[in-house]
Chains A and B, each alone.
Chain A
């Protein structure tokens, strides 16, 4: 599929017209069927396909297949940079295609499945995709050398051509494609040294930007196969409930309504357009059987988790002897922390278009895990996997929501009853009330300090849902998974006696899923708040206290120092304002954040400024690194100030952006991002800003008011306390 559907006639905006032009060329392709991805399939073709990521046509067209999805995080620019760097091409010479579902070819090496999440794309792609580019380059050079009868060592690739230095002969990649495809695939290739990089490390303009400013970018919700009908739905307001009865008399009378599809636990209205579908839905009278969760409330879930932390859990990390150290400590601290359920609220509401044709099914969707969609749809329909064709699209916000296939399965269920293609679009209310939520977590911590205020013991036992246990069962073993504990263990600090346990508790009546910054979204808030509590108990400056514990982590110390310096740490702040710091090493990246907040008389919290220092290793596209931290800070600020999903009588109480509030332009802080130069392999960054800003804000509120907020969101907590 292509990123833009139609050529933007007369557009003179674009320095990236190749992307827009891809529309016309690629619009009719059916991925997974028409393209020669594997080398063996390409044998004898005039195209050169050294691997599943690169196709060079004899017409000179260079197509890169993107194994990970673009949901705003800049993958569709950074991944091409990795390939093009080694292939010796400019970004302006390539065209991009979404990868089809294929776990074998496109699995992320770090996840083992074809999915985009956990800030893994660049980390997973760093070596293999540069090798993919280098392999192609090596074969193109070999082909040119053979054609000219010269030594390969005298030839070099540059800007889409191979050049023979001594004679000045040159041939374009397209011209060499057919011959290159017959060259042996090198067993190993040498990668460029960082000092020779021309793309990696230099800010690059996003390849998807033009289509996104002129309305031609195509998201899943924009798919319009011929004859498509639009459906919207009402799902049981209580998870696990059922439809008891439906009176559709008024709905069928609505102009444009074509069909009403009744499922076990949902009703869908199929119509000519969404306006009619929504009107039809409003006219429906549905009686629900609420089922076993009819009385469920958030408080019940929270107490279940709290009780679970009184029992022992699986030991995630143990260093030294916490019990003995605690017994000998001069000062002891105890604290309980809680974080709420959160919805993803991606701006593109859940949607999926399905054309079920009995023996075959075609799906149009924007998915973070397209192979999962294919496999689960095939299973639900009893079809072989290759009979389910999935077209992936740009994603209007993922944040973990689109790692799940529930929306696709729901659309498939509806499509089974519909003749022809149907696009199922969730209303915002359905999207928020039938999300799969960031888990609620409860943490019980204790710590000990010696007579000089040095930490001697740290103990943390926390309880909550393991998303991995459901989503990727082999990833959960011995009561643990790497996501639930990330940010709670392997802290950058030197803590001589350290003990962390995790208790898996699956709440009833509410589904959970990954949410931007996953495990750290909860763990970093807790650990960085608690370390701040320890600094306060030791009567030490929060930066100095952290710094004294970082002798074994120079990269962490460097970002902490940089953030403190840039933020003017230690300078006086006006009354009612406070400055908070937080530090993390998660997703393979080091970040430090200083937040400036103001707490008004009535307890309202305003975040004025966030200063972030980042050591992400090699910053592949430094502009994206900055953008992701900026966005992550806004996302996390929304969570810290407003984010909360609550249940009452089994129903989610929030419904739209009035009751599930987002930070807006007038509340956005200024955000400064300082990137440390490094040649280390890249870490992940799409999520890191989100987890870190939350404790930075909470610690700043403490600095401003002396009040320690151990339960998110901040919301009206300060007002309630009569600040």
Chain B
């Protein structure tokens, strides 16, 4: 059946089964490939998007469950202050390696910073431990989140 969903401020109509995970609607039906597939079971975080600003694993989120909520993906997170700060810190701190998990990492980090502008190490662990990085960029992710938080405090 057809579902109307709002992604990055734009309406989309997709004709799929109600239980189809949002991940595949984004990647295969609409063609937005920035959001990645890693595990299909909410174990790795590669598919993280924001639903009404909350970091959500799109691989287990059915298209039916979205309703009127607003979906934001990596393609548009740079338009939010927290997303832009995180992306800048990621570049300044040279976080990425293979980069495949980084869409999800950035979405989780942006959601953290949005709700908590000055996270502690424990806050970072809590927010980021659902995202696996097989290349092992954790050290730099931690530093980049702190850098983005610091920039937020200084720059306002």
A347 pairs with B17, CB closer than 8 A: no
B24 pairs with A274, CB closer than 8 A: yes
Q: Which residues of B contact A279 (CB under 8 A)?
A: 17, 19-20
A218 at the interface (CB under 8 A from B): yes
B69 at the interface (CB under 8 A from A): no
Instruction: Apart from A72-B135, A279-B19, A657-B39, list 6 A-B contacts with CB within 8 A.
Output: A218-B33, A278-B40, A398-B98, A627-B140, A662-B44, A666-B126
Q: Which residues of A contact B90 (CB under 8 A)?
A: 209, 213
Contact string, B73-94, partner A, CB cutoff 8 A, digits 1/0?
1110010000010011011001
Q: Known contacts being A13-B87, A428-B39, is A206 close to B94, with CB within 8 Å?
A: yes
B139 pairs with A273, CB closer than 8 A: no
B17 pairs with A276, CB closer than 8 A: yes
Contact string, A146-189, partner B, CB cutoff 8 A, digits 1/0?
00000000000000000000000000000000000000000000
B5 at the interface (CB under 8 A from A): no
Contact string, A209-221, partner B, CB cutoff 8 A, digits 1/0?
1111111111101
A272 pairs with B43, CB closer than 8 A: no
A631 at the interface (CB under 8 A from B): yes
CA distance A219 to B34 in the complex (A): 10
Q: Which of B40, B130, B139 sits near A427, CB closer than 8 Å?
A: B40
By beta carbon, the residue of chain B nearest A211 is B99
A73 at the interface (CB under 8 A from B): yes
Q: Which of B33, B78, B97 sits near A214, CB closer than 8 Å?
A: B78
B151 at the interface (CB under 8 A from A): no
CA distance A149 to B35 in the complex (A): 57
A275 pairs with B100, CB closer than 8 A: no
A623 at the interface (CB under 8 A from B): yes
A630 pairs with B137, CB closer than 8 A: yes
CA distance A254 to B29 in the complex (A): 16
Contact string, B16-29, partner A, CB cutoff 8 A, digits 1/0?
11011101110111
Q: Which residues of B contact A222 (CB under 8 A)?
A: 33
A662 pairs with B140, CB closer than 8 A: no
Give the distance to chain A from B10, nearest Cβ to Cβ, in Å.
13
Q: Which residues of A contact B101 (CB under 8 A)?
A: 347, 396
B24 pairs with A275, CB closer than 8 A: yes
A606 at the interface (CB under 8 A from B): no
Contacts of B104-153 to chain A: CB distance below 8 A: 106, 124-126, 128-142
Give the distance to chain B from A219, nearest Cβ to Cβ, in Å.
6
Q: Known contacts being A217-B99, A347-B100, A427-B40, is A230 close to B28, with CB within 8 Å?
A: yes
Interface size of A by Cβ–Cβ distance < 8 Å?
70
Q: Which of A213, A399, A631 sits near B102, CB closer than 8 Å?
A: A213
Chain B: interface size category: 35 or more
Give the distance to chain B from A182, nearest Cβ to Cβ, in Å.
41
CA distance A218 to B100 in the complex (A): 9
A273 pairs with B28, CB closer than 8 A: yes
Q: Known contacts being A13-B88, A427-B40, A665-B125, is A631 close to B132, with CB within 8 Å?
A: no
B16 pairs with A72, CB closer than 8 A: no
A635 pairs with B136, CB closer than 8 A: yes
A212 pairs with B137, CB closer than 8 A: no
B96 pairs with A665, CB closer than 8 A: no
Give the distance to chain B from A689, nearest Cβ to Cβ, in Å.
9
Contact string, B22-66, partner A, CB cutoff 8 A, digits 1/0?
011101110111111111110110100000000000000000000
A261 at the interface (CB under 8 A from B): no
CA distance A656 to B39 in the complex (A): 7
The winner among A230, A397, A633, A656 for most chain B CB atoms within 10 A is A397
B134 pairs with A665, CB closer than 8 A: no
By beta carbon, the residue of chain B nearest A271 is B28
A71 at the interface (CB under 8 A from B): yes
Contact string, A253-276, partner B, CB cutoff 8 A, digits 1/0?
011100000000000000011111
Contacts of A348-370 to chain B: CB distance below 8 A: 348-349
B91 pairs with A13, CB closer than 8 A: yes
B98 pairs with A657, CB closer than 8 A: no
Give the distance to chain A from B57, nearest Cβ to Cβ, in Å.
12
Q: Which residues of A contact B97 (CB under 8 A)?
A: 72-74, 627, 631
A346 at the interface (CB under 8 A from B): yes
Q: Which residues of B contact A657 (CB under 8 A)?
A: 39, 41, 43-44, 132
Q: Which of A13, A273, A630, A670 sits near B136, CB closer than 8 Å?
A: A630
Q: Known contacts being A397-B134, A665-B129, is A276 close to B139, with CB within 8 Å?
A: no
Q: Which of B78, B91, B142 sits near A209, CB closer than 8 Å?
A: B91
Give the distance to chain A from B74, nearest Cβ to Cβ, in Å.
4
Q: Known contacts being A73-B97, A214-B87, A623-B94, is A273 close to B41, with CB within 8 Å?
A: no
CA distance A395 to B97 in the complex (A): 10
By beta carbon, the residue of chain A nearest B20 is A275
Contacts of A209-244 to chain B: CB distance below 8 A: 209-219, 221-222, 224, 230
Taking Cβ atoms with an 8 Å cutoff, the residues of A that contact B are 5, 8, 11, 13, 70-74, 205-206, 208-219, 221-222, 224, 230, 254-256, 272-276, 278-279, 345-349, 394-399, 425, 427-428, 623, 627, 630-635, 656-658, 662-666, 668, 670-671
Give the distance to chain B from A699, nearest Cβ to Cβ, in Å.
21
Q: Which residues of A contact B40 (CB under 8 A)?
A: 278, 427-428, 656
CA distance A554 to B127 in the complex (A): 45
CA distance A71 to B78 in the complex (A): 24
CA distance A631 to B95 in the complex (A): 11
B94 pairs with A224, CB closer than 8 A: no
Give the distance to chain B from A721, nearest Cβ to Cβ, in Å.
28
Q: Which residues of A contact B84 (CB under 8 A)?
A: 13
CA distance A523 to B45 in the complex (A): 33
Q: Which of A74, A275, A623 sits near B25, CB closer than 8 Å?
A: A275
A632 pairs with B27, CB closer than 8 A: no
A224 pairs with B33, CB closer than 8 A: yes
Give the distance to chain A from B13, nearest Cβ to Cβ, in Å.
15
B87 pairs with A213, CB closer than 8 A: yes
B17 pairs with A215, CB closer than 8 A: no
Q: Which 10 A-B pairs have the closest CB atoms?
A: A215-B34, A634-B136, A396-B100, A212-B99, A72-B98, A72-B97, A273-B28, A631-B136, A215-B74, A275-B24
CA distance A662 to B136 in the complex (A): 10
Q: Which residues of A contact B134 (CB under 8 A)?
A: 345-347, 397, 399, 635, 662
Give the distance to chain A from B122, nearest Cβ to Cβ, in Å.
9
A212 pairs with B96, CB closer than 8 A: yes
A668 pairs with B138, CB closer than 8 A: yes
Q: Which residues of B contact A208 (CB under 8 A)?
A: 96, 99
A397 pairs with B100, CB closer than 8 A: yes
Q: Which residues of B contact A348 (CB under 8 A)?
A: 36, 38, 98, 100
Q: Which residues of A contact B133 (CB under 8 A)?
A: 347, 634
A275 pairs with B28, CB closer than 8 A: yes
Give the distance to chain B from A446, nearest Cβ to Cβ, in Å.
35
Give the distance to chain B from A58, nearest Cβ to Cβ, in Å.
33
Q: Which residues of A contact B17 (CB under 8 A)?
A: 254-256, 275-276, 279
By beta carbon, the residue of chain B nearest A633 is B136
Give the distance to chain B from A131, nearest Cβ to Cβ, in Å.
28
Give the distance to chain A from B92, nearest Cβ to Cβ, in Å.
9
Q: Known contacts being A215-B34, A349-B37, is A275 close to B16, with CB within 8 Å?
A: yes
10 A-B pairs with CB atoms under 8 Å apart are A205-B91, A208-B96, A273-B20, A273-B24, A347-B46, A396-B100, A428-B39, A656-B41, A665-B129, A665-B141
Q: Known contacts being A206-B96, A347-B100, A428-B41, is A272 close to B132, with CB within 8 Å?
A: no
A215 pairs with B38, CB closer than 8 A: no
Q: Which residues of A contact B31 (CB under 8 A)?
A: 224
Q: Which residues of B contact A209 (CB under 8 A)?
A: 90-91, 94-96, 99
Q: Which residues of A contact B106 (CB under 8 A)?
A: 213
B96 pairs with A668, CB closer than 8 A: no
Give the distance to chain B from A606, nearest Cβ to Cβ, in Å.
13
Q: Which residues of A contact B138 (CB under 8 A)?
A: 634, 663-665, 668
Q: Which residues of A contact B23 (CB under 8 A)?
A: 274-275
Q: Which residues of A contact B43 (CB under 8 A)?
A: 656-658
Q: Which of B28, B46, B135 sits near A274, CB closer than 8 Å?
A: B28
